Amino acid sequence: AEACYRGTNAVPRQGSSARTLHVGVTEGDLAPRILTCGTVERARAVAASFDGGVVEREVASARGFLSLTGRCGGVPVSIVATGMGVAMMDFMLRESVAVLPAAADGGARALVVRFGTCGSIREDAAEGTIAVSSGGSTFIRRDPDAFGGGGGSPYQICSVVPADAELSAAVLRELRAELGEEAAVVEGLNVSACSFYSSQGRRDPAFDDGHEECDPVEAVRRMHPDATSMEMETFHLLDLARCARPTPHAVRATAASIIVAHRPSGRVASAASVALLESRGGAAVLRALAATPLAAPPPSPALPPA
Ligand code: R1P
Ligand code: URA
């Protein structure tokens, strides 16, 4: 039974097996190049682009994670569906890293691209567009201390955490090559939120979310005019990548998100366009992962003397 796990520190494994407690993976299940997404359906749609459509290894966990491993142009790649929110991204990244071999010579142990869906909070980034988070990510959270008479701002906004530049450029290049004129691909800052509701500014009369005092979308836009995609996991992925040891390259990560809703206008993408962007966009992200070396990226060129 799940309660009988071994080890209360580091990453516990399930009692009688070597599988991690929540994601359910063990050594050899995952490739170091990982596309991660929210839904099992998107994971399967993207896996159809594995070489020959072949899934070589599949792990479904009791906690709702699904890991599919195959190849892209002969390079092993994995897709991990996480479900939603910071905690699920935390389980996914920590337990995946725990079963991957250590990085060689300062290179990456894992290259990770989140391929999610999002709302757009930027006027000129419409529904049906894909937003690449080359500008990194910030996080907005509802502060419980501001409620129940606590006072203070109901929302807190974190500093920006960067995305991996080489991986972001590869994702942008492959998405543009794949989609051409069919769909726009834009770059910008991602905003992750602690909720789909309160901290994404959705008004719900059933709860006091402090929106009369502070509109969280407007607060982010004032602080970051390039804020584009708003969703729920990218910030935590980039934050953990930044902190993965040995820093700075043990985990390199970025994100691309399909804009399903344009928040300023209220327009939403059609189911058909989302399905197309999931499968074609996912194929492009797999190619970007396969094309990016695990070796540490070359140092950025020195600035010319002033
Ligand atoms: C909310 O509907 C979910 O959709 C977005 C958000 O980040 C959140 O997880 O991403 P996924 O479609 O990848 O789940
Ligand atoms: N996912 C989110 O978190 N927000 C949106 O508006 C759409 C998808």
pLDDT tens figures, 120-179: 999 999 999 999 999 999 999 999 999 998 889 999 999 999 999 999 999 999 999 999
The encoded tokens of residue 206 equal 């059933």
For the Cβ of 200 lying below 6 angstroms from any atom of ligand 2, the answer is yes
Q: Which ligand is nearest to the CA of 229?
A: 2
Residue 100 CA, distance from chain mean position? 19
Angle made by CA atoms 208, 210, 213, in degrees to the nearest 5: 145
Residue with tokens 């004032």: 222
**Closest ligand 1 atom, residue 85 Cα:** 9
Q: Are strands 137-142 and 189-193 parallel, antiparallel or unpaired?
A: parallel
In short, whether 40's Cβ falls inside 6 Å of ligand 1 is no
Identify the burial level of 40 via C-beta atoms within 10 angstroms of its C-beta, where 0-12 means exposed, 13-18 middle and 19 or more buried.
middle
Cα–Cα dist 137/160, whole Å:
5
Q: Indicate if ligand 2 lies below 6 Å from the C-beta of 118.
A: yes
How high is the pLDDT of residue 1? 44
306 contact partners, CB below 8 Å, separation of at least 6: none
Task: Among 260, 262, 263, 268, say which to mutate for ligand 2: greatest number of ligand atoms within 8 Å of CB.
Answer: 260
- 121 and 177 Cβ atoms separated by less than 8 Å: no
Rg (CA), the chain: 19
Contacts of 32 (CB under 8 A, 6+ apart): 76, 100, 101, 108, 109, 110, 111, 294
Residues 79-100: b if buried by 16+ CB within 10 A, e if exposed: bbbbbebbebbbbbbbbbbbbb
pLDDT at 301: 73
Contact 58, 40 (CB under 8 A): no
* Rounded distance from Cα 87 to ligand 1 centre (Å): 13
3-state secondary structure of 46: helix
Tell me the C-alpha distance between 90 and 233, whole Å: 9
197 in contact with ligand 2, CB cutoff 6 A: no
How much is the pTM? 0.96
How many other β-carbons are positioned within 10 Å of the β-carbon of residue 70? 23
- 264 touches 201 (CB < 8 A): no
> 89, 90, 233: which to mutate for ligand 1, most atoms within 8 A of CB?
233
Tokens for 229? 């995609």
Which residues in the chain land under pLDDT 70? Answer: 1-3, 306
Collapsed DSSP state (helix, strand, coil) of residue 271: helix
From the list 39, 292, 30, the residue with the least C-alpha distance to 171 is 292
Q: What are 38's strand-pairing partners?
A: none
- Please give the pLDDT value at position 3: 56
